[in-house]
Amino acid sequence: MEASVEQLVFVRDDAYTVARMSGDGQPGFVAAGRALGGVQPGETVRLLGAWEEHPRHGRRFAVTGCERVTPSTVRAIQLYLGSGLIRGIGPRLAQAIVGHFGEQSLTVIDAEPGRLREVINIGPVRQAQIVEAWREQKAVAELMVVLQGFGVSPLLAAKIYQVFGAESGEVLAKDPYQLIDRVRGIAFATADRIALRSGVPESSPQRIQAALLDRLDAAASGGGHCFLSPTALVTQTIDLIEQDEDLIRQGLDALTAERRVVREADAVYPKELHSRELRLTTELARLARARSTLTLRSYQEDESLDDDQRAAVTMALTSTLSILTGGPGCGKSHTIKALAATVRAMGGAVTLCAPTGKAAKRLSELAGLPAMTIHRVLSHEPDPDALFDETPVRADLVVVDEVSMLDLGLATRLAAALPSGTHLLLVGDSDQLPSVGPGSVLADLLAVESIPRVRLTRVFRQAEGSAIIKAAHRIRAGDLPALPGGGGFWFEELDDPEAIANRVVHLATVAIPRKQQITPAQVQVLSPMRKGTTGTAELGRRLQEVRNPAADDKPEHWSGATLFRVGDRVMPIRNNYDKGVFNGETGTLTRLVPEERQADVQIDDGDLVTYTFDELDDLTHAYAISVHRAQGSEYPFVVAPMVAESGGIMLRRRLLYTLVTRARSWVVLVGQRNALDLAVHRLGHRRNTTLTARLQAAGL
């Protein structure tokens, strides 16, 4: 039957879609199926399928085939034009166009676009905008059909078209592997499916080289590794594409000859990571050996510091490269405050910074001094044609907090920007999670014995009574916290993942706010994983429906499998120097304008930022976030599920330790006792890096 899409109800990553429809004598019905993937409100489609009685959702049309067709009735045309699909046309202008051209409206836009100026409020600029958007929409729809033919989610069509435009079809047919590097969200598996269905031989050098690069990328993005051994790389590639070992080694030789990878001893590096590791070694050695720009004078020691803290201050004043570590409640921030005051009293300049906005804000509050993100310290967008920035950062002392979050790329940019003679103090908790990006900078530097360091171990009196800090120190030692807990730490045991998810949502939105007389916004849900019943995606969806439910006065827009609604709490997941927003900041979606295909986000403690609909995959909901994304942040109350689904692959001691220490007043863990036990006793893997060995070879 033929029907119009009225509203999207649900969209999954694999393109499974549930939509409200109307047409063919059906005043309103629900249709569902993967074949609906990519449809948008306002479109007219021809559906193939059968009616079914769903045990939970009732009667609906199970779709097995879906074909887009040109709307033919006046109502369908007006719905289509007013849906926001065509940039520049909103509901009022759609009504004016249809009122003037009737059933010929789409024919006019397609074949006689100059006639659009017959409609009031359409001038040359608006006409050109409408025509361009119309052609783009048609091209994306055609691309969706092609992708469905390859067995690939049609939700990727808009992203591919955004990068390749009119050449998209040719790229899919001739060189789909270039999608991997250039289109966000497309990995080897998707490109390989397209390639094989396009006739690319399974043993082609193109495919083998793409598979080798994919394994290196997976090692970096999934495991934080800077390299793989040749044996591991070849073995993993054989597992991926099931090709002969000799062919794969030939592919590796070709990549090495083309300098797309670098082989060194028993290691294979992506070219970029190899360059960064070499550069970071050079810059750190330069900083460590430089003559200090700081004029040391006698100073009044802070009487509130203990012996270790005084030693840390002295170390930072006399060493141009040093490290301060310690767990929660051990006085790192107070030490930084005393150090900064001392340097300023000597007439020196101090810069305090951290990898994320939340971490910088927290450092500023605790130290009582201004602090910035490292990105803002570096102050401008990096040259896309250069691996490193060399913009000087003018300060006698630079203190970087939350260094466990510092990946190889950001560490290299920062070190390269510091003039020789600047004192660099790196501060962090070595028991927290390592960086999201590749590298293990803090651990690697701590392994270089010649680099001065102080570890603070005393828990100060104001922190001694905290159940959170007690639990954190037990976890760090490999012991289970006292259960069920109390006074700030609590474990509630449940077994069923569905019940756990429901309980997490209830605690975060009803129980804790009511008991503590706070708002739900003061409770942050964290999860060790993204997928599954208790992952960030599903918990975020449930929390959104409770904290920001649908309403007639709240515009919505589906971007892929994510529903954005005015009032949503969101988080940028990528740095955007043009917009001045950085990964890990949070904000509120304040405006959605379908006809302009734009959304406005008010960044907390920042500017109002506009995103086009094509840029919305730079955002994620902030209702439930991963523990990695919570690093550097602190929340009054934290609720988190503990589930050993899929073997609890993400459950590690450092993850649990990091999770627990994100809470200021209370942390409530809900879930399986065996999952908690697994997290406490399972150690993480050692990342493949050679920074330590390089620094030692450089004489440090």
Rg of the chain on CA atoms, in Å: 28
User: What are the Cα distances from residue 697, in Å, to 278, 444, 448, 700?
Assistant: 12, 13, 10, 7
Contact between 51 and 28 under an 8 Å Cβ cutoff? The reply is no
| Closest C-alpha to 632, from 394, 385, 432 | 432
* CA 574, chain centre distance (Å): 6
Tokens 């006809």 identify what position? 595
Contact between 318 and 439 under an 8 Å Cβ cutoff? The reply is no
> Is 327 labeled as ligand-binding?
no
* CA 325, chain centre distance (Å): 27
Q: What is the DSSP letter of 576?
A: B
Three-state SS letters, 304-368: CCCHHHHHHHHHHHHCCEEEEEECCCCCHHHHHHHHHHHHHHCCCCEEEEECCHHHHHHHHHHHC
**Whole-angstrom distance, CA of residue 689 vs CA of residue 445:** 11
**Whole-angstrom distance, CA of residue 313 vs CA of residue 456:** 12
User: What are the Cα distances from residue 295, in Å, to 342, 558, 595?
Assistant: 12, 58, 60
| Closest C-alpha to 582, from 629, 532, 535, 547 | 629
Tokens of 593: 């304008």
Q: What is the DSSP letter of 139?
A: H
Per DSSP, what are the bridge partners of residue 485? 490
**Whole-angstrom distance, CA of residue 382 vs CA of residue 390:** 9
Contact between 543 and 563 under an 8 Å Cβ cutoff? The reply is no
- Residue-wise DSSP of 193-251: HHHHHTT--TT-HHHHHHHHHHHHHHHHHHH--S-B-HHHHHHHHHHHH---HHHHHHH
CB contact burial 229-268 (16+ within 10 A = b; e otherwise)? ebebbbebbbebbebeeebbbebbeebeeeeebbeeeebb
Contact between 621 and 572 under an 8 Å Cβ cutoff? The reply is no
The one-letter amino acid at 562: T
Say how many C-beta atoms besides its own lie within 10 A of residue 391's C-beta.
12
Which run of H or of E encompasses 563? strand 562-565
Tokens of 54: 């769903």
> Is 275 labeled as ligand-binding?
no
> Is 331 labeled as ligand-binding?
yes
> Is 332 labeled as ligand-binding?
yes
N- to C-terminal Cα distance for the chain?
74
Binding-site residue numbers are: 329-333
Binding-site residue numbers for ATP are: 329-333
